[in-house]
Structure 1
Amino acid sequence: MDESTRAKAGSAPRPRLRDCLGPAEYGRLVEVWRSAVMATHHFLAEADRADIESRLIDRYFPQVTLTVMDIDGEVIAFSGTAGDSLEMLFVAADARGRGAGSELVAHAVREQGVRRVDVNEQNEQAVRFYTRRGFVVVGRSDQDEAGRPYPLLHMASAE
C-alpha cells in the first residue's frame, strides 16, 4: 500500500520492533546513532564523538542484543542490551517525541529483563526520560566507561 492509498484508508504506517538483521544493518544504526547524538549529546567533544562512532560497528554493536524499531522498513530507533542492562538506546532526531524510546525501553524491561541503565549525567533529558519510566539513581561515576570526563548516573528499576 503506497502513502496516498494509506492516507485514504486512514491508517498511518505502524512502527514495529524486531531483532537487528546483523552487520548488514549496522550502517543504518550508525546513522540513527549520529542523528540522536547530534540532537542530545551537546556535551560531547567532537573528538570523543568521532572516537565513539568509530567503535560502534566493530566493538559496541557485537557486544549487545540489538532491537530495532522500523516504520515500513526504515529504522528510526534501536536499543542494545546485555544481561539486565540497557547499554544503548538511540532514536533518530526526526523521530524523537513519538514514543519510539518508550516502546523500546518497555520491551527491554518486559522481554529482555532489563533492570539497569547508565546515563550521561549531562544528558538531562535522558535522566528525566528514565526517571519517568521507573528508574532511580543508585550510583554515580565521575567518568564514562572509557575514562572520558563524562559522569555517569547508574540507574536501576524501582520495581
Structure 2
Amino acid sequence: MIKILDISKMDDIMKIWLETNITAHDFISENYWRDNYDFVKKVLPESTVFVYEEENEVKGFVGIVEDSYIAGLFIAEEYQYRGIGSKLINKCKEYNSTLKLDVYGKNLKAINFYKKCGFKIIEERVNNETKEIEYSMMWNK
C-alpha cells in the first residue's frame, strides 16, 4: 500500500536510502552518501514522499520536490524487481502531468527502468559534487 510519509518511519526510510545509494552507486565513495545522510534526513519531510508499505514494513519510497522533480526513488534491495518502483512512479504520475529527475549515467538499471516508465533523456552533464556524468530525464502525460 502506498501512503504519505509517516515521520515515525524515518529511520526505516533512511536505512533504505543509505543502503540503496551505496549499492546502486558503487562508483561513488560510500562516504559521500554517509556525509549527506543527516542533510537528507532533515529535508526529506519537506518533500512530498510516497511510501510503499506492506504489513507495517517499509519496502520503498519516492520523494518529490518543487512539485514535479523526483529527488529519489528507493526500493529496499530484497524487494527490488517486484513492481514496487513502478507503483510508486505511477502514484507520482497521478499528481503530476510532468515529472523530472536526474540519474547517474553509470546507473544503467535505473536509466532502463525510467525509460520503461516513459521517461526520456533530455540533457547530459557532469555532476558538480561527484564529477560523474548524469542525465536529466523527463516524463510528460
Quick check: TM above 0.5? yes
Does 1:17 pair with 2:2? yes
For residues 13 and 25 of structure 2, the distance between their equivalents in structure 1, rounded to whole angstroms, comes to: 17
Report the more deviating stretch, 124-133 or 32-41: 32-41
Deviation of 1:125 (Å): 0.6
Letter in 2 for 1:65: T
Distance 1:112 1:157, change over 3 A: closer
Taking the aligned partners of 1:152 and 1:138, their CA distance within structure 2 comes to: 11
RMSD: 1.6
Q: 1:111 to 1:85 in 2, by over 3 A?
A: same
- Per-residue CA deviation, residues 107-151 of structure 1 (Å, 9 max, x unaligned), is 11123445211111111110010011111100122015xx22122
Aligned length: 140
- Taking the aligned partners of 2:86 and 2:48, their CA distance within structure 1 comes to 18
Contact (CA 8 Å) 2:60, 2:75: kept in 1 or not? yes
Structure 2 residue identity aligned to 1:76: K
Q: Secondary structure at the match of 2:106?
A: coil
In structure 2, the CA distance between the partners of 1:112 and 1:72, relative to structure 1 (3 Å rule), is farther
Q: Which residue identity is paired with 2:59?
A: I
Whether contact under 8 Å (2:98, 2:140) holds in the other structure is: no
**What whole-Å deviation, never above 9, does each CA across 1:63-102 have from its counterpart, x for those lacking one?**
3111100010100000001211111100000000001101
Q: 1:131 to 1:102 in 2, by over 3 A?
A: same
TM superposition shift of 1:38: 3.3
Q: 2:132 aligns with which of 133, 139, 150?
A: 150
Q: Which has the larger radius of gyration?
A: 1
In the alignment, what sits opposite 1:103?
87
Contact 1:77–1:100 (CA under 8 A) maintained in structure 2 = yes
Equivalent AA in structure 2 for residue 21 of structure 1: D
- Give the one of 89, 101, 117 matched to 1:117: 101
Greater percentage in strand: 2
Q: 1:45 to 1:121 in 2, by over 3 A?
A: same
